[in-house]
Amino acid sequence: MNQKPRIIRLGLAQPDVIVGDFAGNYNKLLRVLDDARRQKVDLTVFPELVICGYPPEDLLLKPQFIERNVQYLNKLVQASVGLDVIAGFVESDTYLYNAAAVIHDGKLIATSRKIFLPNYGVFDEERYFKPGADCSVYVIGGVKVGLSICEDIWHSNNPVASLAKAGAEVIVNISASPYHYGKTKERVALLTSQARQNSVIMVYNNMVGGQDELVFDGHSLVLDAQGEILARGKQFEEDFVVVDVDLDTVANRPFQEKENLSQGLTQRSWTVGLTKVSEAFSESEKPSLALRVNEEYSPDGEIYNALVLGTRDYIVKNAFRKVVLGLSGGVDSSLVATIAVDALGKDSVIGVSMPSRFSSPGSQTDAILLAQNLGIKFFSLPIDDTFQSYLDNMAGIFDGSETDTTEENLQARIRGNLVMALSNKFGWMALPTGNKSEMATGYATLYGDMAGGFAILKDVPKTLVYKLVAYRNLLAGYDIIPQSVIIKPPSAELRYNQLDTDSLPPYEVLDLILKAYVEDDETVEEMVALGMDEEVVRMVVRLVDGSEYKRRQAPPGIKITTRAFGRDRRLPITNKFHGNF
Amino acid sequence: MNQKPRIIRLGLAQPDVIVGDFAGNYNKLLRVLDDARRQKVDLTVFPELVICGYPPEDLLLKPQFIERNVQYLNKLVQASVGLDVIAGFVESDTYLYNAAAVIHDGKLIATSRKIFLPNYGVFDEERYFKPGADCSVYVIGGVKVGLSICEDIWHSNNPVASLAKAGAEVIVNISASPYHYGKTKERVALLTSQARQNSVIMVYNNMVGGQDELVFDGHSLVLDAQGEILARGKQFEEDFVVVDVDLDTVANRPFQEKENLSQGLTQRSWTVGLTKVSEAFSESEKPSLALRVNEEYSPDGEIYNALVLGTRDYIVKNAFRKVVLGLSGGVDSSLVATIAVDALGKDSVIGVSMPSRFSSPGSQTDAILLAQNLGIKFFSLPIDDTFQSYLDNMAGIFDGSETDTTEENLQARIRGNLVMALSNKFGWMALPTGNKSEMATGYATLYGDMAGGFAILKDVPKTLVYKLVAYRNLLAGYDIIPQSVIIKPPSAELRYNQLDTDSLPPYEVLDLILKAYVEDDETVEEMVALGMDEEVVRMVVRLVDGSEYKRRQAPPGIKITTRAFGRDRRLPITNKFHGNF
C-alpha cells in the first residue's frame, strides 16, 4: 500500500538575545513564532537559556531574576498556541536547572534538564545548577524526538546512543556554544559521527551573538541519518532555518517504554498532542537551502567575522553609539579601526593620532591614509608639550636616574588619558588596540595603550593580525589597510629607532611559544623538544608569568582561541611556580 | 586498678605558605617537624593543600605542577621519621583530589579525599577536583582519629556524626578557610556544637597568610568533647599550637569495623604504627596555653589585622620592598598609609601630595601632618601645569562643550600617571586608596585614583574606614591619623567646593543599601520594606549595576566582607537586568 512520505518541518531559531533583557528577548521569540506559523513549521527550536540569555553568571543568584525568567517562559508558552516549541530556560525547583521546555499548543508539556554541566574553561555551570538525572524521548507530532542540552552531546558519556536505542528518530540539541577557531569543524565532525553511528537525524541549534568576552556563532545544523548536512544556519547572524526532514530515511525504531538506559539515565516518553505529520509540500512552498548548505567562511574570514560580531554586540548592547581609538599608523590599530567600521559603520568611528618626538613621519601619514580609506573622522593631538610638563614636574625626583621604560610608559599613559578624555566628553567608547602577543608578554602599558572599554584583539596573536589584515584587504579588493602599514617593522615608537624585536623574539617565533605555553600548557622541556630555543622559551615563560598582574586589569576582549586570557585561564598573581623547569 | 590518663599531644601548624613555592613551603614544614620532635608531639597537623599553597587555581591544570606537589609530599613523608603527621596535598589518580596524607614514621600510610568541594563564592574546586567517596577513622598512636577537609564539616551532610559513630574520639579538620568579618564566631559556634553533639574532640587546623585577594586567618582551634576551647592558634600569624588532650574526657567508643555510614559514606580503619600514648608531662614540660585561649581581637581590630596581613603578604610575596601612594589629606589615603606602615614599616612607605587649584590648604597640611606622624618619606608634585597642558591641547576639540566630569577624571588620571611613574622608576608598588563604597557606585576614576597594584580598601565600606581609623588611633594612644582628617566632609576636590554628597547619599545611608544589595542580593522592594528610601535605593542600584565595567579593570584587593567584588561576585558587564523592580 502506497504511503505518503513522513516529513517533519523543523524550524531552528538562532536569535541574538541579551542577558537579562527578558522583554526584548521575548519580543524576538514572538516574531519567530509568527514566522513559524506562516511557514507551517512542525517543531520550532530555540537555543539554551534563550529566555534569559547566556551566560547569566551570578544574576542566577538573584531570586527575582529566576522569577522573571519563569514569567517570560510562561508568556512564551501562552504565545505558542498551534505550535510545538522547544526553548531553553532556568527551571527552579528547590535547586536551579539548565532546562529545556517542551511546549505544545499553548501548554507546557514537560521540561528536560541538562545532565552534564560544564565547569571548565569559561564555564561555571556547577556554581549555579544541579545536573538533570535523565534525558527523554518525546513524541512530538508523531515524531520521536530525543532532547539534549549543549554539553550533553559533547560528554564522553553522552546519551545520544541511549536516546536512539530508546526510539528517538530525531535528536535535538539546544546550545549556547561559544566560538573559538576550529570549533565549527569539531561540531560537524561530532554531529556527523553521532548521526551515522546511531542512524538518527541530528538537530543542532546554537545561539548567536556577542556577550562580553564570548561570541556565539549560530551555525545551527541539521544532519540526516547518514551524517549529510541538510541545513545550516547562518554563522554570526540571526537566522531562522526551516527545513523539511524525511523521517523514512531513519530506521523506524520500536518505541521502548521505560527502557533503562546506560550511564544511569532513565528514559521517559511523552505524547505531545496529536499526531500531525506534515503533508508533502509543493515545490513553491519548500524552502530552498541549497545555497546555505554550501556557505562557509575561510578560517581567517570566520575569525574576522567573529570579531566584528563580538565588537558590534558589545558596543551596541552596552548602549554606545560611537568609538574612539588612537591610530598610530601601526597594523594593530589599523585592524581595530577597520573591524570597528565593519561593525558599526564609518560614521561611528573616530581616529586620533597622538604623535610624539619619537613618531616617524611615515606613521602619521599611514594613519591619515587609513582614515581616508575607511572614511572615518580623524584628528591629531600631539603629546610632546604634556610629556615635557610631566618631565619638568618630576625632574627633581628623577634627578640622577637613568631614562628607562618609565618615560616610555608615560607617553603611552598620556595617550590613554587623551583618548579617555574624548570618551568622557563625547560618550565614545575607547578601544585599545593591543594584541594577544602583547597581552601575554606584558609588552603593553597599563593605563596607557591598554586603556579602554573593549580590547578587540586581546585574544588575537600578532601573526594572526597580519592574516586578518590580508583577508580584509582581499575582501576590499585593494589595500584598504595600506601596504606601508603592513611592511614596516613593528615598533612602539616610544624612543628613537625602537623595534619590538629589541624586547621580544620575532613574532613568528613568539606566537608558536605562546600557543604551546598558554593554550596547551606545555612545559619548557616539551617546547624545547618541539625544537624551540630553550633560552627564548624561558624568557617568554618568564614574561608571561610576570605579566599576570597587568592582564588582571585589562579590559574585556573577544575569545577566539581555545584559551583566552580572563576567566578562561585563572592564574594567581602571587605565584612562585613557573613553567620553566 | 589505677590507670595512667590517656593523653595525646597535638601539634597544629599554621604556616604562611606561598602558592607554587614548593621548596620554600617545604622548608617551613621541616622547621615545624623539628619543633614537633623537640616538644614530643604525638600528632602533627598541617593545613589543606599546604604542600602547594591555596588556592592554586589553574596551576592545577599544569601536569608538572601536580608532579612537583607529589615530589614534595614524598620529601615530607621521608622527613617524618619518628612522627605521625597529617598534611594536605593534591592527590593525582586519573583525576585530581584535594587530599590529606596520613604519615607515620617516614611512611605514607593512607590518603583521605575531600568529599564536599566548594564551588560558590570565591571557590572553584569542582573546576579541578573530583569529590572523595568516603571518610575514614585512623588509629593513630592508639587514638581513633576521624579525618575531614575544610568544607566537609560545613556541609549540611557533614560526616562528623558518622565519624563519631564509627568510633572517632578526635575529629581533625584541615582547612584553608578565607577570612571574612564574623567568620571566627561562625567557626567557633559550628565546632562547639559538633563537639558537644557528638562528644568528640574537634581539632580545627587553618592556614594563615594572604594570597592575592584572600586572607587566611589561622586561628586554629582545639575543643574538648564539651565544646570548651582547649587551645587556639594565633590569628593572622604563623603559629605551632601544641596542646595535651585528655582522651578520658571522651566516651571511649567501641570501634565498629566496616560500619556503613550515612550519606553513602563508608568507613575504613587504619592502624597507624604502634600505640604510643604520651606519658603525662611534668608541669615544666606542659605548654601553657591559658593566655592564647583568651586572646581575641575586637571586631574592628580583627578586620584591621586582616588588612595588614593581606597587604604585607601581597607586597612581600610579589617581591616588592616599598610602596608609594597619593596622600590627599583624606581619610581613605590616610588609612591606607597607616596600614602600609603597620605591614611594611615606615621606611617602606612613600607618600606624595599632588595638589591642584581645587585642593584645600587644609588637605595639604593634613597630608604633611599624617606623614610626620607615620614618619614616612613625603614629597609634593603639583599637577596644575600638566592639567593646563592637557586642556590647551584639547581646547579646539572641546570648544563649545561644557566643563564636566571629563576635567575631573583628567586630574585623577594625571595623579595616577605620576604615581605610576614613581612606581616604574623606583620599583615601588603603587597603592590606590579607594574604598568599597566608591568601587560599588563607580565614584572613582578608572586609570586615575583606581590605578595601582593592590587596593587595600577595595572591600572596606566608607563607614568601616572611619571605624578602622578610630581603632588605630585608640591603639596609638593619640590621633596618629589627625582629627582634622576625620571630621572634614568627604570630598574628591576635583572642582571648587565639591562634596561626595553632591553625587552620593550620605555614607551611613549608602553603605546600608550596598550591604543589602551587593552582599545580600536584596531586591529594591525588600530594601524599601526595610525602611530605605525607594528613590535613593533605585539610584544606588543603578550606580552599582552601571559600574561593573570599572570594577572589571580594578586592581585586586583584600576580601573582608561576605561578598567582595571580583571572583566572589561574577556579573556580566552586558546586562539588561537590574535589581530595580
What digits encode the pLDDT tens for the residues B466-503? 999 999 999 999 999 999 999 999 998 999 889 999 99
CA-CA-CA-CA dihedral for A186, A190, A196, A199, to nearest 10:
-140
Residue A341's identity, in one-letter code, is: V
pLDDT at B2 over 90: no
For residue B241, what are the contacts with CB-CB under 8 A and spacing of at least 6? B10, B11, B12, B14, B220, B222, B231, B232, B233, B289, B292
pTM for this one? 0.93
For residue B377, what are the contacts with CB-CB under 8 A and spacing of at least 6? B347, B349, B350, B351, B371
Residue B553's identity, in one-letter code, is: Q
Distance between terminal CA atoms of chain A?
75
| B404/A424 CB distance under 8 A | yes
Helix runs in A218-298, H state only? 290-294
Distance, in Å, from the CA atom of A344 to the CA atom of A316, rounded to the nearest integer, reads: 9
| B381/A392 CB distance under 8 A | no
pLDDT at residue A140, rounded to an integer = 86
pLDDT at residue B136, rounded to an integer = 85
Task: Express each pLDDT in B515-545 by its tens digit.
Answer: 999 999 999 999 999 999 999 999 999 999 9
Mean pLDDT of B421-428: 98
Helix runs in A4-47, H state only? 22-38
pLDDT at residue A295, rounded to an integer = 60
| B572/A394 CB distance under 8 A | no
Residue A471's identity, in one-letter code, is: Y
Distance, in Å, from the CA atom of B511 to the CA atom of B536, rounded to the nearest integer, reads: 12
Closest CA to A307 of A330, A347, A341: A341
Query: Is residue B352 within a helix (H) or strand (E), and if so which, with residue range?
Result: strand B349-353
| A58/B406 CB distance under 8 A | no
pLDDT at residue B250, rounded to an integer = 76
pLDDT at B277 over 80: no
CA distance B246 to chain A (A): 41
User: Scanning the structure block, which residue is given the C-alpha cell 556579573?
Assistant: B571
pLDDT at residue A534, rounded to an integer = 95
| B556/A555 CB distance under 8 A | no
Is residue A466 within 8 A of residue A472, CB to CB? The reply is: no
Distance, in Å, from the CA atom of A153 to the CA atom of B288, rounded to the nearest integer, reads: 62
pLDDT at B360 over 60: yes
pLDDT at residue B286, rounded to an integer = 39
Mean pLDDT of chain A: 91
Mean pLDDT of A334-363: 96
Return the higher-pLDDT residue of A5 and B476: B476
pLDDT at residue B135, rounded to an integer = 83
Distance, in Å, from the CA atom of A213 to the CA atom of A55, rounded to the nearest integer, reads: 11
Query: Is residue B385 within a helix (H) or strand (E), and if so which, with residue range?
Result: helix B384-398
Distance, in Å, from the CA atom of A125 to the CA atom of A117, rounded to the nearest integer, reads: 6
| A572/B382 CB distance under 8 A | no
CA-nearest residue to B424 within chain A is A406
Confidence of residue A273 (pLDDT cuts 50, 70, 90): very low
Cβ contacts of B426 on chain A, cutoff 8 Å = 401
pLDDT at residue A248, rounded to an integer = 83
Pick among B553, B558, B568 to test the A interface (most A CBs inside 10 A): B553
Mean pLDDT of A363-375: 96
pLDDT at B438 over 70: yes
Query: Which positions of A are catalytic?
Result: 48, 114, 150
Mean pLDDT of A385-409: 96
3 state DSSP class of B349: strand
For residue A372, what are the contacts with CB-CB under 8 A and spacing of at least 6? none
Distance, in Å, from the CA atom of A412 to the CA atom of A390, rounded to the nearest integer, reads: 13
pLDDT at residue B254, rounded to an integer = 52
pLDDT at residue B142, rounded to an integer = 82
Q: Residue B396 corresponds to which cell in the numbers above?
A: 579646539
Pick among B576, B578, B580, B581 to test the A interface (most A CBs inside 10 A): B576
pLDDT at residue A580, rounded to an integer = 53
pLDDT at residue B248, rounded to an integer = 83
CA-CA-CA-CA dihedral for A349, A355, A361, A366, to nearest 10:
-10
pLDDT at residue B165, rounded to an integer = 87
pLDDT at residue B581, rounded to an integer = 52
User: Scanning the structure block, which residue is given the C-alpha cell 572642582?
Assistant: B495
CA-CA-CA-CA dihedral for A352, A310, B551, B348, to nearest 10:
-60
Pick among B422, B575, B578, B581 to test the A interface (most A CBs inside 10 A): B575
Residue A177's identity, in one-letter code, is: S
* Residue from the list A19, A314, A451 with its beta carbon closest to the beta carbon of B576: A19
* Residue from the list B127, B379, B409 with its beta carbon closest to the beta carbon of A424: B409
Strand partners, A307: none
Mean pLDDT of B143-172: 90
pLDDT at residue B270, rounded to an integer = 43
Q: Is B75 exposed, middle or buried (0-12, 13-18, 19+ CB in 10 A)?
A: middle
The two beta strands, B269-272 and B137-140, are: parallel
Q: Residue B450 corresponds to which cell in the numbers above?
A: 583606581
Cβ contacts of A64 on chain B, cutoff 8 Å = 523, 579, 581
CA distance A166 to chain B (A): 31
Q: Dihedral sign, CA of A63, A66, A72, A74?
A: negative
Cβ contacts of B28 on chain A, cutoff 8 Å = none
Mean pLDDT of B89-107: 96
Indicate whether this complex's ipTM tops 0.90: yes
pLDDT at residue B278, rounded to an integer = 32
pLDDT at residue A285, rounded to an integer = 40
Number of A:B CB contacts under 8 A? Answer: 236
Closest CA to B389 of B418, B404, B410: B410
User: Scanning the structure block, which residue is given the C-alpha cell 598573581?
Assistant: A573
3 state DSSP class of A437: helix
Mean pLDDT of chain B: 91
User: Scanning the structure block, which residue is given the C-alpha cell 599608523?
Assistant: A329
CA-nearest residue to B570 within chain A is A58
The rounded radius of gyration (Å) of the Cα atoms in chain B is: 27
Q: Residue B86 corresponds to which cell in the numbers above?
A: 597529617
Mean pLDDT of A190-212: 96
Q: Is B382 exposed, middle or buried (0-12, 13-18, 19+ CB in 10 A)?
A: middle
Closest CA to A281 of A569, A26, A4, A80: A4
Mean pLDDT of B304-315: 98
Query: Is residue A386 within a helix (H) or strand (E), and if so which, with residue range?
Result: helix A384-398
pLDDT at B315 over 70: yes
Task: Express each pLDDT in B179-208 by its tens digit.
Answer: 999 999 999 999 999 999 999 999 999 999
| A556/B552 CB distance under 8 A | yes
| B19/A392 CB distance under 8 A | no
Q: What phi-psi label fits residue B494: left (phi over 0), alpha (psi between -120 and 50 degrees) or beta?
A: alpha
* Residue from the list B24, B379, B575 with its beta carbon closest to the beta carbon of A397: B379
From the DSSP assignment, how many helices (H) and strands (E) are in chain A? Answer: 18, 19
Distance, in Å, from the CA atom of A263 to the CA atom of A163, rounded to the nearest integer, reads: 12
Is residue A430 within 8 A of residue A452, CB to CB? The reply is: yes
3 state DSSP class of A518: helix
pLDDT at residue B209, rounded to an integer = 98
Strand partners, B97: B91
Q: Residue A460 corresponds to which cell in the numbers above?
A: 588575537
Mean pLDDT of A520-539: 94
Cβ contacts of A58 on chain B, cutoff 8 Å = 569-571
pLDDT at residue B252, rounded to an integer = 55
pLDDT at A277 over 60: no
Query: Which positions of B are catalytic?
Result: 48, 114, 150
* Residue from the list A56, A409, A581 with its beta carbon closest to the beta carbon of B424: A409
Distance, in Å, from the CA atom of B31 to the CA atom of B238, rounded to the nearest integer, reads: 12
Confidence of residue A361 (pLDDT cuts 50, 70, 90): confident
The two beta strands, B95-104 and B107-113, are: antiparallel
| A571/B318 CB distance under 8 A | no
For residue A447, what are the contacts with CB-CB under 8 A and spacing of at least 6? A413, A416, B413, B416, B417, B420, B447, B451
pLDDT at residue B294, rounded to an integer = 47
Mean pLDDT of A166-173: 93
pLDDT at residue B281, rounded to an integer = 32
Distance, in Å, from the CA atom of B187 to the CA atom of B221, rounded to the nearest integer, reads: 9
CA distance A407 to chain B (A): 8
A281-295, A493-507, B176-190: the lowest-pLDDT one: A281-295
Closest CA to B33 of B88, B90, B106: B106
Confidence of residue B295 (pLDDT cuts 50, 70, 90): low
Cβ contacts of B68 on chain A, cutoff 8 Å = 577
| B390/A212 CB distance under 8 A | no
* Residue from the list A392, A410, A424 with its beta carbon closest to the beta carbon of B421: A410
CA-nearest residue to A385 within chain B is B389
Pick among B577, B578, B581 to test the A interface (most A CBs inside 10 A): B577
Closest CA to B50 of B25, B27, B32: B25
Confidence of residue B27 (pLDDT cuts 50, 70, 90): very high
Q: Residue A338 corresponds to which cell in the numbers above?
A: 577597520
Q: Dihedral sign, CA of A289, A294, A299, A301?
A: negative
Residue B336's identity, in one-letter code, is: V
| A574/B212 CB distance under 8 A | yes
Distance, in Å, from the CA atom of B276 to the CA atom of B105, rounded to the nearest integer, reads: 12
The two beta strands, B137-140 and B201-206, are: unpaired
Q: Residue B574 corresponds to which cell in the numbers above?
A: 552586558
Cβ contacts of A124 on chain B, cutoff 8 Å = 119, 124, 127, 570
pLDDT at residue A578, rounded to an integer = 82
Mean pLDDT of B77-102: 97
| B398/A18 CB distance under 8 A | no
